[in-house]
Chains A and B, each alone.
Chain A
Amino acid sequence: SQQGEEDPQALSIQEGENATMNCSYKTSINNLQWYRQNSGRGLVHLILIRSNEREKHSGRLRVTLDTSKKSSSLLITASRAADTASYFCAASGRRALTFGSGTRLQVQP
């Protein structure tokens, strides 16, 4: 399987705290994407970081990419209850996206 791994598998924090999720992948990539999925719903694209970038910001999101370690991290700052969801990284290679195993984030109000 080319599926990547994410850790932690589950994360529970209080509103206002920061949440960090890590992703490792196996193949060479064009870019690394992060998606969010509310329970039983479709995925929503959050942010894309290209293979020649090391860090990217979008609002409360900060993504880093280390291609030498084949790893990425997603930081959500000042979390809100509405951030409760599953978060997936997706490695974009030549053929398709390969999704990581996902992190389930619970933000307690």
Chain B
Amino acid sequence: DTEVTQTPKHLVMGMTNKKSLKCEQHMGHRAMYWYKQKAKKPPELMFVYSYEKLSINESVPSRFSPECPNSSLLNLHLHALQPEDSALYLCASSQVWGLAGDTQYFGPGTRLTVL
């Protein structure tokens, strides 16, 4: 199974809402990632978890709060977002993080619209 799943596929939320994005993989990967992608732009790294510990936070605003409950799950909690946060949010996983530069497996993404 080389699949990364993400839920929901689409999400519309107001600026005062609290919502969560979920990501799951069952490939035994120990590195998981959140990316943000705006239209016609490349993915931008937000967070990296390695062995369930946060290893990279690319200066992401605190209104985005990641969580890695176990090695298969990755959440992104959203609170008080701005309209400019509307984007495709991609989750990815790889065997390990760091020196090897592993292939990353991406989920289909959550299309987020903030009103």
Contact = CB atoms under 8 A, between A and B. Distances in A.
Interface residues of B, number: 27
Interface residues of A, number: 25
Interface of B: 4, 6, 33, 40-45, 48, 56, 88, 90, 92, 97-101, 103-109, 111
B108 A42 contact: yes
B52 to A, nearest CB: 18
A42 B109 contact: yes
A99 B44 CA distance: 8
Interface in A80-109: 88, 92-97, 99-102, 104
Contact of B43 (A29, A41, A99): A99
Nearest to A95: B56
Interface of A: 3, 29-31, 33, 35, 40-45, 48, 88, 92-97, 99-102, 104
